[in-house]
Protein backbone atom coordinates (compact mmCIF):
# COMPACT_ATOMS: atom_id res chain seq x y z
CA UNK A 1 0.00 0.00 0.00
CA UNK A 2 1.08 3.55 -0.73
CA UNK A 3 1.58 5.85 2.26
CA UNK A 4 -1.30 8.09 1.15
CA UNK A 5 -3.76 5.24 1.71
CA UNK A 6 -3.10 4.80 5.44
CA UNK A 7 -4.99 6.32 8.37
CA UNK A 8 -3.64 8.86 10.85
CA UNK A 9 -3.10 6.28 13.58
CA UNK A 10 -1.36 3.89 11.19
CA UNK A 11 0.97 6.64 9.98
CA UNK A 12 1.67 7.71 13.56
CA UNK A 13 3.11 4.24 14.20
CA UNK A 14 5.20 4.39 11.04
CA UNK A 15 6.57 7.81 12.01
CA UNK A 16 7.42 6.69 15.55
CA UNK A 17 9.13 3.52 14.37
CA UNK A 18 11.07 5.31 11.64
CA UNK A 19 9.43 3.18 8.95
CA UNK A 20 8.32 6.39 7.20
CA UNK A 21 9.14 10.08 7.40
CA UNK A 22 6.76 13.01 7.13
CA UNK A 23 8.52 14.02 3.90
CA UNK A 24 7.80 10.60 2.42
CA UNK A 25 4.15 10.80 3.46
CA UNK A 26 3.75 14.30 2.02
CA UNK A 27 5.49 13.27 -1.21
CA UNK A 28 3.13 10.29 -1.46
CA UNK A 29 0.06 12.50 -1.00
CA UNK A 30 1.22 14.99 -3.62
CA UNK A 31 1.99 12.17 -6.06
CA UNK A 32 -1.61 11.03 -5.56
CA UNK A 33 -2.85 14.58 -6.12
CA UNK A 34 -0.83 14.78 -9.33
CA UNK A 35 -2.46 11.55 -10.49
CA UNK A 36 -6.15 12.26 -9.73
CA UNK A 37 -6.79 15.93 -8.89
CA UNK A 38 -7.40 16.99 -12.48
CA UNK A 39 -10.38 14.62 -12.58
CA UNK A 40 -11.72 15.09 -9.05
CA UNK A 41 -11.05 18.81 -8.42
CA UNK A 42 -10.98 18.59 -4.62
CA UNK A 43 -8.79 21.66 -4.21
CA UNK A 44 -9.01 25.36 -4.96
CA UNK A 45 -5.40 25.94 -3.93
CA UNK A 46 -2.49 23.61 -3.17
CA UNK A 47 0.22 24.54 -0.66
CA UNK A 48 3.03 22.20 -1.68
CA UNK A 49 5.95 24.44 -0.80
CA UNK A 50 4.52 25.17 2.66
CA UNK A 51 3.77 21.46 3.14
CA UNK A 52 7.33 20.40 2.32
CA UNK A 53 8.72 22.99 4.72
CA UNK A 54 6.37 21.79 7.46
CA UNK A 55 7.29 18.15 6.74
CA UNK A 56 10.98 18.94 7.17
CA UNK A 57 10.24 20.58 10.52
CA UNK A 58 8.11 17.59 11.54
CA UNK A 59 10.91 15.13 10.72
CA UNK A 60 13.37 17.19 12.75
CA UNK A 61 10.94 17.26 15.68
CA UNK A 62 10.49 13.49 15.49
CA UNK A 63 14.27 13.01 15.66
CA UNK A 64 14.27 15.16 18.79
CA UNK A 65 11.46 13.16 20.38
CA UNK A 66 8.85 15.90 19.93
CA UNK A 67 5.95 13.88 18.54
CA UNK A 68 2.53 15.51 18.78
CA UNK A 69 -0.89 14.03 17.92
CA UNK A 70 -0.73 15.06 14.24
CA UNK A 71 3.01 15.49 13.70
CA UNK A 72 3.80 15.10 10.01
CA UNK A 73 0.22 14.22 8.96
CA UNK A 74 -1.08 15.88 5.73
CA UNK A 75 -4.41 17.65 6.40
CA UNK A 76 -6.60 19.67 4.01
CA UNK A 77 -8.61 22.75 4.99
CA UNK A 78 -11.99 23.79 3.61
CA UNK A 79 -11.54 27.18 1.96
CA UNK A 80 -13.88 28.78 4.49
CA UNK A 81 -11.35 28.92 7.35
CA UNK A 82 -8.93 31.82 7.38
CA UNK A 83 -5.26 31.09 6.73
CA UNK A 84 -2.77 33.87 7.35
CA UNK A 85 -1.09 35.00 4.14
CA UNK A 86 -2.91 32.39 2.05
CA UNK A 87 -6.03 33.27 0.02
CA UNK A 88 -9.36 32.19 1.51
CA UNK A 89 -12.14 32.43 -1.06
CA UNK A 90 -15.24 30.65 0.30
CA UNK A 91 -15.61 29.35 -3.25
CA UNK A 92 -16.76 32.83 -4.33
CA UNK A 93 -15.68 35.37 -6.92
CA UNK A 94 -16.28 38.14 -4.39
CA UNK A 95 -13.43 36.79 -2.21
CA UNK A 96 -11.20 35.41 -4.97
CA UNK A 97 -8.37 37.79 -3.99
CA UNK A 98 -8.92 37.93 -0.20
CA UNK A 99 -5.82 37.12 1.90
CA UNK A 100 -6.57 36.91 5.66
CA UNK A 101 -4.18 38.62 8.09
CA UNK A 102 -4.66 35.86 10.70
CA UNK A 103 -5.28 32.13 11.15
CA UNK A 104 -8.58 30.64 12.27
CA UNK A 105 -8.36 29.04 15.71
CA UNK A 106 -8.78 25.56 14.24
CA UNK A 107 -5.88 26.20 11.86
CA UNK A 108 -3.67 27.25 14.74
CA UNK A 109 -4.78 24.25 16.82
CA UNK A 110 -3.97 21.83 14.00
CA UNK A 111 -0.62 23.50 13.42
CA UNK A 112 0.15 23.24 17.16
CA UNK A 113 -0.73 19.53 16.95
CA UNK A 114 1.88 19.12 14.19
CA UNK A 115 -0.34 18.88 11.11
CA UNK A 116 1.04 19.57 7.63
CA UNK A 117 -1.39 21.59 5.48
CA UNK A 118 -1.79 20.30 1.93
CA UNK A 119 -4.16 22.90 0.52
CA UNK A 120 -7.55 24.65 0.61
CA UNK A 121 -10.47 22.54 -0.60
CA UNK A 122 -13.31 23.37 -2.94
CA UNK A 123 -16.79 24.09 -1.61
CA UNK A 124 -20.23 25.41 -2.48
CA UNK A 125 -20.06 29.21 -2.57
CA UNK A 126 -20.22 30.53 1.01
CA UNK A 127 -21.20 26.96 2.02
CA UNK A 128 -24.60 27.38 0.36
CA UNK A 129 -25.29 24.11 -1.38
CA UNK A 130 -25.48 20.33 -1.07
CA UNK A 131 -23.41 19.31 -4.07
CA UNK A 132 -20.30 21.54 -4.44
CA UNK A 133 -21.69 22.67 -7.79
CA UNK A 134 -22.11 26.35 -6.83
CA UNK A 135 -18.38 27.02 -6.43
CA UNK A 136 -17.00 29.87 -8.53
CA UNK A 137 -14.06 27.55 -9.26
CA UNK A 138 -16.17 24.77 -10.76
CA UNK A 139 -17.68 21.58 -9.34
CA UNK A 140 -15.92 18.83 -7.42
CA UNK A 141 -16.61 15.27 -8.52
CA UNK A 142 -17.28 12.18 -6.45
CA UNK A 143 -14.22 9.86 -6.56
CA UNK A 144 -16.55 6.84 -6.67
CA UNK A 145 -18.24 8.05 -9.86
CA UNK A 146 -16.89 11.14 -11.59
CA UNK A 147 -20.30 11.90 -13.10
CA UNK A 148 -21.78 12.34 -9.62
CA UNK A 149 -21.64 14.98 -6.90
CA UNK A 150 -19.55 14.45 -3.74
CA UNK A 151 -22.14 16.19 -1.57
CA UNK A 152 -21.78 19.65 -0.14
CA UNK A 153 -21.02 22.18 0.90
CA UNK A 154 -17.77 20.54 2.06
CA UNK A 155 -17.52 18.34 -1.03
CA UNK A 156 -13.87 19.16 -1.69
CA UNK A 157 -12.83 18.16 1.82
CA UNK A 158 -14.78 14.89 1.61
CA UNK A 159 -13.57 13.93 -1.86
CA UNK A 160 -9.96 14.73 -0.93
CA UNK A 161 -10.05 12.19 1.92
CA UNK A 162 -11.98 9.61 -0.12
CA UNK A 163 -9.55 9.93 -3.05
CA UNK A 164 -6.49 9.74 -0.73
CA UNK A 165 -5.47 13.30 -1.66
CA UNK A 166 -4.91 13.95 2.05
CA UNK A 167 -5.06 11.87 5.23
CA UNK A 168 -7.77 13.94 6.93
CA UNK A 169 -9.53 17.24 6.33
CA UNK A 170 -11.61 19.98 7.89
CA UNK A 171 -15.12 21.00 6.86
CA UNK A 172 -17.95 23.10 8.19
CA UNK A 173 -21.52 21.95 8.82
CA UNK A 174 -24.47 24.37 8.77
CA UNK A 175 -27.20 21.93 7.77
CA UNK A 176 -25.34 18.70 7.03
CA UNK A 177 -22.32 19.93 5.10
CA UNK A 178 -19.94 17.50 6.82
CA UNK A 179 -22.15 14.47 7.35
CA UNK A 180 -23.87 14.46 3.94
CA UNK A 181 -20.68 14.51 1.82
CA UNK A 182 -19.03 12.04 4.23
CA UNK A 183 -21.88 9.61 3.55
CA UNK A 184 -21.80 10.14 -0.22
CA UNK A 185 -18.00 9.72 -0.35
CA UNK A 186 -17.80 6.68 1.95
CA UNK A 187 -15.82 8.23 4.83
CA UNK A 188 -16.38 9.37 8.44
CA UNK A 189 -17.56 12.92 9.14
CA UNK A 190 -18.48 14.56 12.45
CA UNK A 191 -20.41 17.73 13.27
CA UNK A 192 -19.56 18.56 16.90
CA UNK A 193 -21.90 20.24 19.38
CA UNK A 194 -22.44 23.95 18.65
CA UNK A 195 -19.80 25.69 20.76
CA UNK A 196 -17.47 22.68 21.10
CA UNK A 197 -15.08 23.83 18.33
CA UNK A 198 -14.18 27.49 17.91
CA UNK A 199 -15.66 29.37 14.96
CA UNK A 200 -13.10 32.18 15.22
CA UNK A 201 -11.75 32.63 11.70
CA UNK A 202 -14.60 30.68 10.08
CA UNK A 203 -16.20 32.88 7.43
CA UNK A 204 -19.83 32.95 8.53
CA UNK A 205 -22.82 31.64 6.60
CA UNK A 206 -25.43 31.26 9.39
CA UNK A 207 -23.81 32.06 12.71
CA UNK A 208 -26.24 30.17 14.96
CA UNK A 209 -25.87 26.99 12.89
CA UNK A 210 -22.26 26.84 11.61
CA UNK A 211 -19.87 24.37 13.20
CA UNK A 212 -16.41 23.08 12.18
CA UNK A 213 -15.58 19.37 12.21
CA UNK A 214 -13.34 16.65 10.73
CA UNK A 215 -13.44 14.22 7.80
CA UNK A 216 -11.41 11.04 8.33
CA UNK A 217 -10.89 7.54 6.98
CA UNK A 218 -12.10 5.80 10.14
CA UNK A 219 -13.62 6.53 13.55
CA UNK A 220 -10.34 6.42 15.50
CA UNK A 221 -8.92 9.11 13.23
CA UNK A 222 -12.03 11.18 13.93
CA UNK A 223 -11.26 10.95 17.67
CA UNK A 224 -7.66 12.06 17.03
CA UNK A 225 -8.83 15.07 15.03
CA UNK A 226 -11.43 16.00 17.65
CA UNK A 227 -8.72 15.96 20.31
CA UNK A 228 -6.91 18.61 18.29
CA UNK A 229 -9.95 20.73 17.41
CA UNK A 230 -12.14 20.83 20.51
CA UNK A 231 -11.84 23.31 23.34
CA UNK A 232 -12.85 26.71 24.66
CA UNK A 233 -11.69 29.81 22.79
CA UNK A 234 -12.01 33.19 24.55
CA UNK A 235 -11.91 34.92 21.15
CA UNK A 236 -15.17 33.28 20.05
CA UNK A 237 -18.35 34.44 21.77
CA UNK A 238 -20.31 31.19 21.33
CA UNK A 239 -17.44 28.92 22.39
CA UNK A 240 -18.41 26.92 25.49
CA UNK A 241 -16.11 26.45 28.45
CA UNK A 242 -16.79 22.71 28.82
CA UNK A 243 -14.39 19.93 29.76
CA UNK A 244 -12.89 18.15 26.76
CA UNK A 245 -12.15 14.45 27.30
CA UNK A 246 -9.52 12.39 25.48
CA UNK A 247 -11.75 11.19 22.68
CA UNK A 248 -9.52 8.22 21.85
CA UNK A 249 -10.51 6.59 25.14
CA UNK A 250 -13.98 5.96 23.69
CA UNK A 251 -12.65 3.90 20.79
CA UNK A 252 -13.14 0.14 21.17
CA UNK A 253 -15.54 0.30 24.11
CA UNK A 254 -18.66 -1.86 23.95
CA UNK A 255 -22.22 -0.51 23.89
CA UNK A 256 -23.92 -3.45 25.58
CA UNK A 257 -27.19 -2.28 27.11
CA UNK A 258 -27.24 1.07 25.32
CA UNK A 259 -30.65 2.27 24.15
CA UNK A 260 -30.62 3.17 20.46
CA UNK A 261 -33.46 5.45 19.40
CA UNK A 262 -35.08 5.01 16.00
CA UNK A 263 -37.23 8.06 15.12
CA UNK A 264 -40.30 7.08 13.13
CA UNK A 265 -40.28 10.43 11.29
CA UNK A 266 -36.95 9.57 9.59
CA UNK A 267 -38.19 6.38 7.94
CA UNK A 268 -40.73 7.65 5.45
CA UNK A 269 -41.58 7.33 1.78
CA UNK A 270 -38.96 8.79 -0.54
CA UNK A 271 -35.89 7.10 0.91
CA UNK A 272 -33.95 5.19 -1.73
CA UNK A 273 -34.63 1.44 -1.19
CA UNK A 274 -30.91 0.60 -1.11
CA UNK A 275 -30.27 3.28 1.52
CA UNK A 276 -33.20 2.00 3.57
CA UNK A 277 -31.92 -1.59 3.39
CA UNK A 278 -28.37 -0.61 4.35
CA UNK A 279 -29.62 1.30 7.39
CA UNK A 280 -31.85 -1.63 8.44
CA UNK A 281 -28.78 -3.87 8.33
CA UNK A 282 -26.90 -1.27 10.39
CA UNK A 283 -29.64 -1.47 13.03
CA UNK A 284 -29.21 -5.25 13.12
CA UNK A 285 -25.46 -4.83 13.62
CA UNK A 286 -26.09 -2.45 16.52
CA UNK A 287 -28.43 -5.03 18.08
CA UNK A 288 -25.70 -7.67 17.80
CA UNK A 289 -23.39 -5.23 19.63
CA UNK A 290 -25.82 -5.29 22.56
CA UNK A 291 -27.79 -2.16 21.67
CA UNK A 292 -31.46 -2.15 22.60
CA UNK A 293 -33.64 -0.64 19.87
CA UNK A 294 -36.15 1.93 21.16
CA UNK A 295 -38.85 3.56 19.05
CA UNK A 296 -38.89 7.33 19.55
CA UNK A 297 -40.65 10.30 18.04
CA UNK A 298 -39.32 13.70 16.95
CA UNK A 299 -42.72 15.20 16.14
CA UNK A 300 -41.56 18.54 14.77
CA UNK A 301 -39.27 16.94 12.15
CA UNK A 302 -41.64 17.84 9.26
CA UNK A 303 -41.03 21.54 10.02
CA UNK A 304 -37.22 21.35 10.04
CA UNK A 305 -36.66 22.12 6.37
CA UNK A 306 -38.94 25.18 6.41
CA UNK A 307 -37.43 26.46 9.67
CA UNK A 308 -33.90 26.01 8.36
CA UNK A 309 -34.59 27.79 5.09
CA UNK A 310 -35.87 30.82 6.96
CA UNK A 311 -33.22 31.02 9.69
CA UNK A 312 -30.16 30.19 7.56
CA UNK A 313 -30.89 32.64 4.70
CA UNK A 314 -31.86 35.36 7.20
CA UNK A 315 -28.52 35.03 8.97
CA UNK A 316 -26.74 34.80 5.62
CA UNK A 317 -28.40 38.04 4.49
CA UNK A 318 -27.00 39.76 7.57
CA UNK A 319 -23.54 38.15 7.42
CA UNK A 320 -22.98 38.72 3.71
CA UNK A 321 -23.90 42.42 3.87
CA UNK A 322 -20.22 43.08 4.64
CA UNK A 323 -19.16 42.10 1.10
CA UNK A 324 -19.69 45.41 -0.67
CA UNK A 325 -16.43 46.04 -2.54
CA UNK A 326 -15.24 48.67 -0.07
CA UNK A 327 -12.94 46.99 2.44
CA UNK A 328 -11.66 43.82 0.77
CA UNK A 329 -12.40 41.31 -1.94
CA UNK A 330 -13.74 41.91 -5.43
CA UNK A 331 -14.83 45.40 -6.52
CA UNK A 332 -16.72 46.02 -9.73
CA UNK A 333 -15.09 48.42 -12.17
CA UNK A 334 -16.61 51.45 -13.88
CA UNK A 335 -19.22 52.29 -11.27
CA UNK A 336 -20.94 55.69 -11.55
CA UNK A 337 -21.17 56.29 -7.81
CA UNK A 338 -21.00 54.46 -4.47
CA UNK A 339 -24.46 52.89 -4.73
CA UNK A 340 -23.77 51.72 -8.26
CA UNK A 341 -20.51 50.17 -7.07
CA UNK A 342 -22.36 48.32 -4.29
CA UNK A 343 -24.92 46.94 -6.74
CA UNK A 344 -22.48 45.93 -9.45
CA UNK A 345 -20.01 44.37 -6.97
CA UNK A 346 -22.67 42.18 -5.38
CA UNK A 347 -24.33 41.35 -8.69
CA UNK A 348 -21.04 40.28 -10.31
CA UNK A 349 -19.40 38.87 -7.17
CA UNK A 350 -22.11 36.51 -5.90
CA UNK A 351 -23.39 33.43 -7.70
CA UNK A 352 -27.10 32.55 -8.26
CA UNK A 353 -27.55 30.35 -5.14
CA UNK A 354 -26.02 32.96 -2.83
CA UNK A 355 -28.19 35.69 -4.38
CA UNK A 356 -31.27 33.48 -3.94
CA UNK A 357 -30.60 32.97 -0.25
CA UNK A 358 -29.75 36.62 0.38
CA UNK A 359 -33.07 37.63 -1.17
CA UNK A 360 -35.03 35.02 0.82
CA UNK A 361 -33.29 36.07 4.02
CA UNK A 362 -33.69 39.79 3.43
CA UNK A 363 -37.40 39.29 2.80
CA UNK A 364 -37.79 37.20 5.98
CA UNK A 365 -36.13 39.96 8.03
CA UNK A 366 -37.92 42.89 6.41
CA UNK A 367 -40.32 45.18 8.24
CA UNK A 368 -43.73 43.59 8.65
CA UNK A 369 -42.45 40.06 8.01
CA UNK A 370 -39.87 39.47 10.75
CA UNK A 371 -42.37 38.17 13.31
CA UNK A 372 -44.23 36.07 10.77
CA UNK A 373 -41.09 34.39 9.42
CA UNK A 374 -37.84 34.62 11.40
CA UNK A 375 -39.60 35.07 14.74
CA UNK A 376 -41.95 32.14 14.16
CA UNK A 377 -39.14 29.94 12.81
CA UNK A 378 -37.10 30.63 15.96
CA UNK A 379 -40.04 29.51 18.10
CA UNK A 380 -40.41 26.26 16.16
CA UNK A 381 -36.65 25.76 16.41
CA UNK A 382 -37.03 25.74 20.19
CA UNK A 383 -39.65 23.00 19.84
CA UNK A 384 -37.29 20.96 17.63
CA UNK A 385 -34.59 21.20 20.28
CA UNK A 386 -37.12 20.16 22.93
CA UNK A 387 -37.98 17.08 20.82
CA UNK A 388 -34.36 15.94 21.07
CA UNK A 389 -34.19 16.71 24.80
CA UNK A 390 -37.21 14.49 25.37
CA UNK A 391 -35.92 11.76 23.04
CA UNK A 392 -32.60 11.50 24.89
CA UNK A 393 -34.51 10.76 28.10
CA UNK A 394 -35.54 7.50 26.42
CA UNK A 395 -32.33 6.60 24.58
CA UNK A 396 -28.56 7.07 24.66
CA UNK A 397 -28.07 7.79 20.97
CA UNK A 398 -30.27 8.10 17.89
CA UNK A 399 -29.68 6.19 14.63
CA UNK A 400 -30.92 7.51 11.27
CA UNK A 401 -29.97 7.47 7.59
CA UNK A 402 -27.51 10.27 6.76
CA UNK A 403 -28.99 10.98 3.34
CA UNK A 404 -32.20 9.91 1.60
CA UNK A 405 -30.35 8.81 -1.55
CA UNK A 406 -26.85 7.94 -2.76
CA UNK A 407 -24.89 10.55 -4.71
CA UNK A 408 -26.87 11.95 -7.62
CA UNK A 409 -25.56 13.03 -11.01
CA UNK A 410 -23.90 16.41 -11.52
CA UNK A 411 -26.51 18.83 -12.89
CA UNK A 412 -29.42 16.60 -11.92
CA UNK A 413 -30.91 19.00 -9.34
CA UNK A 414 -29.41 22.38 -10.18
CA UNK A 415 -32.67 23.58 -11.78
CA UNK A 416 -34.80 22.40 -8.84
CA UNK A 417 -33.65 24.10 -5.62
CA UNK A 418 -36.29 22.35 -3.49
CA UNK A 419 -35.08 18.90 -4.53
CA UNK A 420 -31.53 20.01 -3.80
CA UNK A 421 -32.54 21.26 -0.34
CA UNK A 422 -34.22 17.90 0.41
CA UNK A 423 -30.77 16.28 0.21
CA UNK A 424 -30.18 17.54 3.77
CA UNK A 425 -33.53 16.49 5.22
CA UNK A 426 -31.96 14.07 7.77
CA UNK A 427 -29.14 16.37 8.86
CA UNK A 428 -30.72 19.83 9.25
CA UNK A 429 -32.46 19.12 12.55
CA UNK A 430 -29.11 18.42 14.23
CA UNK A 431 -27.88 21.95 13.49
CA UNK A 432 -31.16 23.52 14.59
CA UNK A 433 -30.87 21.68 17.93
CA UNK A 434 -27.10 22.29 18.26
CA UNK A 435 -26.36 18.63 19.02
CA UNK A 436 -23.47 16.53 17.64
CA UNK A 437 -23.78 14.00 14.84
CA UNK A 438 -21.51 11.59 13.02
CA UNK A 439 -21.85 9.77 9.69
CA UNK A 440 -20.16 6.39 9.23
CA UNK A 441 -20.04 4.19 6.09
CA UNK A 442 -22.66 1.42 6.23
CA UNK A 443 -22.48 -0.19 2.79
CA UNK A 444 -22.73 0.31 -0.94
CA UNK A 445 -25.40 0.33 -3.62
CA UNK A 446 -25.43 -2.33 -6.33
CA UNK A 447 -23.50 0.09 -8.53
CA UNK A 448 -20.85 0.66 -5.86
CA UNK A 449 -21.89 4.05 -4.46
CA UNK A 450 -21.28 4.55 -0.70
CA UNK A 451 -24.11 4.80 1.85
CA UNK A 452 -23.83 6.34 5.32
CA UNK A 453 -25.58 5.85 8.66
CA UNK A 454 -25.89 8.73 11.13
CA UNK A 455 -25.66 8.66 14.92
CA UNK A 456 -26.83 11.60 17.06
CA UNK A 457 -26.27 12.29 20.77
CA UNK A 458 -26.99 14.96 23.37
CA UNK A 459 -25.06 18.21 23.74
CA UNK A 460 -21.30 17.70 24.31
CA UNK A 461 -21.63 13.91 24.04
CA UNK A 462 -19.21 13.45 21.13
CA UNK A 463 -17.60 10.68 23.19
CA UNK A 464 -20.81 8.66 23.03
CA UNK A 465 -20.94 9.11 19.27
CA UNK A 466 -17.37 7.92 18.85
CA UNK A 467 -18.05 4.93 21.10
CA UNK A 468 -21.15 3.77 19.23
CA UNK A 469 -19.60 4.56 15.82
CA UNK A 470 -16.46 2.64 16.75
CA UNK A 471 -18.48 -0.36 17.91
CA UNK A 472 -20.54 -0.26 14.73
CA UNK A 473 -17.48 0.11 12.49
CA UNK A 474 -15.75 -2.86 14.13
CA UNK A 475 -18.74 -5.21 14.06
CA UNK A 476 -20.26 -4.20 10.71
CA UNK A 477 -16.98 -5.08 8.98
CA UNK A 478 -17.96 -3.05 5.92
CA UNK A 479 -15.76 -4.03 2.99
CA UNK A 480 -12.84 -1.61 2.69
CA UNK A 481 -13.23 -0.54 -0.92
CA UNK A 482 -11.45 2.35 -2.59
CA UNK A 483 -12.54 4.49 -5.52
CA UNK A 484 -11.18 3.07 -8.76
CA UNK A 485 -9.63 6.31 -9.94
| Residue of 131, 157, 169, 177 marked catalytic | 177
What CATH number is given for 3-249 in this structure?
A: 3.90.1300.10
Distances, alpha carbon 314 to alpha carbons 114, 173, 271, 272, 425, in Å: 38, 17, 29, 32, 19
Q: Is 153 known to be catalytic? A: yes
pLDDT band of 421, cuts 50, 70, 90: confident
Q: Within 10 Å of residue 293's Cβ, how many Cβ atoms? A: 14
| Residue of 21, 42, 92, 153 marked catalytic | 153
Average pLDDT of the residues of the chain: 96
pLDDT digits (tens, 9 = 90+) for 123-138: 999 999 999 999 999 9
Residues composing the chain: 485
In this predicted structure, the answer to whether residue 269 has a pLDDT above a threshold of 90 is: no
pLDDT band of 422, cuts 50, 70, 90: confident
% of residues, the chain, pLDDT over 90 = 94
Q: Indicate the pTM of the whole model.
A: 0.97
All structural domains of the chain with their residue ranges: 3-249
What integer pLDDT is reported at residue 59 of this predicted model? 98
pLDDT digits (tens, 9 = 90+) for 33-65: 999 999 999 999 999 999 999 999 999 999 999
* Inter-residue long-range contacts of 48-56, CB under 8 Å, 24+ positions, other chains counted: 48/118, 48/119, 50/86, 50/117, 51/26, 51/116, 51/117, 51/118, 51/119, 52/23, 52/26, 54/22, 54/116, 54/117, 55/21, 55/22, 55/23, 55/25, 55/26, 55/116, 56/22, 56/23
What integer pLDDT is reported at residue 380 of this predicted model? 98
| Residue of 78, 109, 191, 217 marked catalytic | 78
In this predicted structure, the answer to whether residue 334 has a pLDDT above a threshold of 90 is: no
Amino acid sequence: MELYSFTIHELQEKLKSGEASSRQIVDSVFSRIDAVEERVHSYIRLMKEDALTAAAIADENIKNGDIRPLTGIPVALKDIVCTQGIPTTCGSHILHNFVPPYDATVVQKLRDAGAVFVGKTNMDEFAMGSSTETSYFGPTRNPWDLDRIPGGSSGGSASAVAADECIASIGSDTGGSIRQPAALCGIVGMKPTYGRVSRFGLIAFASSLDQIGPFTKDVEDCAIMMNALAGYDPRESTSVRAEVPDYRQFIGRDINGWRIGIPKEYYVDGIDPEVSMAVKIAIEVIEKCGGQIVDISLPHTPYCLAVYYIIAPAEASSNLARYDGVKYGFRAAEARDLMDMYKKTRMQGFGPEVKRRIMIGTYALSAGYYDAYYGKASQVRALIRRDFDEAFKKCDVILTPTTPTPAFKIGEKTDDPLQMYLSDIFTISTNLAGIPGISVPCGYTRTGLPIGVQFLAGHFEEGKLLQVASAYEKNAAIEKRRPTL
